[in-house]
């Protein structure tokens, strides 16, 4: 298992039309720096009652760039919820999504938000 880490900025923009009453749809654009130098593009869907802090989201994004010297793309799948007990989030590298030198990549992408800044830890494996 390999470990990569760094910081990223994210721009989330509402998209219309919403897929259904009570759901939100958003574009995701990231600039990622550190051991992974990349950009990403994706879409997110959300639902729940954000005013009370009870909600959930799913998202898929495609990351394009250089991971520890290897060039290619891969997709990340997000699933998150928040409620009175706090946020819970899982971000997984989509199996079979790697291209180029990242073909066969597998792993998890952990996001930390502190003082309004986003950081990541990518724990991953590559074939061979």
Question: What is the pLDDT tens value at each position of the chain, 128 positions in all?
Answer: 999 999 999 999 999 988 898 899 999 999 999 999 999 999 999 999 888 889 999 999 999 999 999 999 999 999 999 998 988 999 999 999 999 999 999 999 999 999 999 999 999 999 98
Q: In 10 A of CB 73, how many CB atoms?
A: 17
63 close to 38: Cβ distance less than 8 angstroms: yes
d(CA 123, CA 4): 7
How far apart are the C-alpha atoms of 71 and 18, rounded to whole Å? 35
Query: What CA–CA distance (Å, rounded) separates 92 from 79?
Result: 9
b/e burial code for range 17-37 (CB count within 10 A of at least 16 → b): eeeeeeebebebebebeebbe
What is the length of the chain?
A: 128
CB neighbourhood size of 119 (10 A): 15
Residue 118's domain spans which residues?
A: 2-125
Whole-number Å distance between alpha carbons of 28 and 26 = 7
Domain of residue 110, CATH code:
2.40.350.10
Is the Cβ–Cβ distance between 17 and 43 less than 8 Å? no
Q: Domain total for the chain?
A: 1
Answering whether pTM is above 0.85, one says yes
């Amino acid at each position: 298992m390999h470990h990569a880490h760094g910081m990223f900025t994210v721009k989330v923009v509402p998209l219309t039309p919403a897929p259904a009453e009570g759901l939100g749809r958003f574009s995701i654009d990231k600039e990622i720096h550190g051991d992974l130098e990349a950009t990403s593009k994706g879409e997110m869907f959300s639902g729940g009652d954000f005013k009370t802090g009870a909600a959930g989201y799913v998202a898929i994004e495609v990351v394009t760039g250089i991971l520890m010297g290897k060039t290619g793309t891969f997709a990340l799948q997000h699933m998150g919820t928040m409620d009175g007990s706090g946020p819970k989030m899982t971000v997984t590298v989509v199996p079979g999504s790697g291209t180029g030198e990242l073909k066969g990549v597998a792993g998890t992408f952990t996001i930390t938000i502190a003082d309004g800044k986003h950081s990541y830890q990518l724990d991953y494996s590559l074939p061979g």
